Amino acid sequence: FFFFFFQSIFACVCLLLMVIGLVLVVNCFMRGLIRSAQQAYRYVGRVVELHTAATLKPKPVPDHFVKGLCSHQEILNIEKRIDGLDRLDLTQRYKKHAAVLLPLCVDENDDPAVLFTLRSKHLRAHAGEVSFPGGKVDDDDCSLSYAAVRECVEEIGIEPERVMGKWHDITNKNSTMSVTPVIAFMGKICQSDLRLNPEEVADVFIVPIRDLFNPDLRSNWSLPSGMKLPQFDSGPHRVWGITAFILAGVFNTVLVPYDSY
């Protein structure tokens, strides 16, 4: 009798432990599911924020904002705004990474400007397109910023005077890798200072920021879905795609914040 009694008690205890274990497993699973859902919600929200920042309606920028953009004090102010970003970091989501350098500079007329490259026509990817210096991050690159600077030196033969920081990560058009924009100040650039790598770069052109962000010289291009993205028409080549998206987003958030004028 006692044997069957204790056997029944033991079976009940085992069943209770199994139920408790199952509840704990389900609880952990649900917590993980909720955490993943929260992260996904936050990620989507951040992507929407970036898209909004890059597609704000162009408006005239006061001259005093543009003229002082490359002053020492304003460079420090830009760095503070970059440091204050709650960056979207996508490097954990993708196995492949790229870094591009957004080269803020002073042109031959002493005006704040941005440098662009025209990619060589015989490249396998994005041939003949306007871009910023940059490319895939190598295994031996010590950081994303280092990779962007290395690519800049390889492509056009000069390095920045000052690396100011990283903007939010985005993805390439196929969503197969993360792309980190690195903002840098190049100093004053003359065309004679550049040493182009013809294997990668067909041309380099510099556009004053006053012209880039003139609303009359701005337009949009549309994705097949109908989504409109920024385009800059003031230079010798139109700037569109991921390059225009980065440029507009960086300008509206950290160079001359949209709500500051």
Q: Per-residue pLDDT for 121 more than 90? A: no
pLDDT, residue 41, reads: 52
Residues 6+ positions from 53 with CB-CB distance below 8 Å: 248, 249, 252, 253, 258
Q: What is the pLDDT of residue 40?
A: 54
Tell which wins on pLDDT, 216 or 27.
216
pLDDT at 1 over 70: no
Q: Which of 98, 69, 11, 122 is nearest to 260 (CA)?
A: 69
pLDDT, tens digit (0-9, with 9 covering 90-100), for 157-174? 999 999 999 999 999 988
Q: Give this prediction's pTM.
A: 0.83
